Amino acid sequence: MEELKENNEGDYLMNKTIAKVGYAMLTETTEGKITYSEVKWFKSDKAGGRTVGAEPSGESTTVYADGLPVIVANNNAGYNISLELIAIVDDIEKDWYGNSEATEGGFIEKGGISVLPRFALLVAKERYDSDKLYEIDTYFDCVASTRATRNDKTSEGNFDPQFPTFTITSKPRPDNDFVRYTSYEDILPTAVVTPTVKGAE
């Protein structure tokens, strides 16, 4: 789906397509320091992105006085993200779900309660008529909150592939409350960038 975005001059630029989907594993120390692994971009023919939808999470509160709204406060709790890829690859099994590799090959999914691995999710989109090739959304603190749907069906003579859908919960980073960073680049980054708020230096 093509998406319109406003640039700094007030003009609207259209995103052409999802270009790449990637992720970087998040590690938080007991002191609260957060670091990321190198970004892994999914290969288009292995686990390329088909659709991405980010639904805002959180509530707004309105305070009224003299019959008028005088204060509107918003609790930004992040996003509920729906991500459709063309397949589930080994990296997802290990990194997103913490599944164990089997000696005989393949992966073992266990029951019970376990802490979900955390990661940053990156979605790169190609842009029309822009001085930068990509618009990249980085969601800083994510978990794959539910297991991916697995749909299979018999062939009825036509090529009708089934694609897994992932439900991802994105929340604010605990050290700076950053939820999402939208940047504009000509190349895909290999590292997660933690930006600085302009004027906050």
| 131-170 residue pLDDT tens | 889 999 999 999 998 887 766 666 666 766 778 899 999 9
Query: DSSP characters for 109-160?
Result: ---S--PPP-EEEEEEEEESS-SSSEEEEEEEEEEEEEPPP-------SS--
User: CA-CA distance, 28 to 140, in Å (whole number)?
Assistant: 12
The CA distances from residue 195 to 14, 21, 47, 176, 201, in Å, are: 24, 20, 28, 11, 11
Query: DSSP characters for the chain?
Result: --EEEE-TTS-EEEEEEEEEEEEEEEEE-TT--EEE---EEPPHHHH-EEEEEEEEE--EEEEEETTEEEEEEE---EEEEEEEES---HHIIIIIT-PEEPTTSSEE---S--PPP-EEEEEEEEESS-SSSEEEEEEEEEEEEEPPP-------SS------EEEEEEE--TTT---EEEEEESS--SS------TT--
Residue 10 has a pLDDT of 43
Task: Tell me, yes or no, if the pTM score tops 0.75.
Answer: yes
| 56-103 residue pLDDT tens | 897 777 777 767 777 776 778 899 999 999 888 889 999 999 888 899
Residue 9 has a pLDDT of 45
Does the domain spanning 8-185 belong to CATH 2.30.110? yes
User: CA-CA distance, 166 to 149, in Å (whole number)?
Assistant: 7
Name the percent of the chain lying above pLDDT 70.
Answer: 86
Domain ranges in the chain? Answer: 8-185
Q: Tokens in use for 126?
A: 């190609």
What does the pLDDT average to over 30-37?
Answer: 96
Residue 147 has a pLDDT of 80
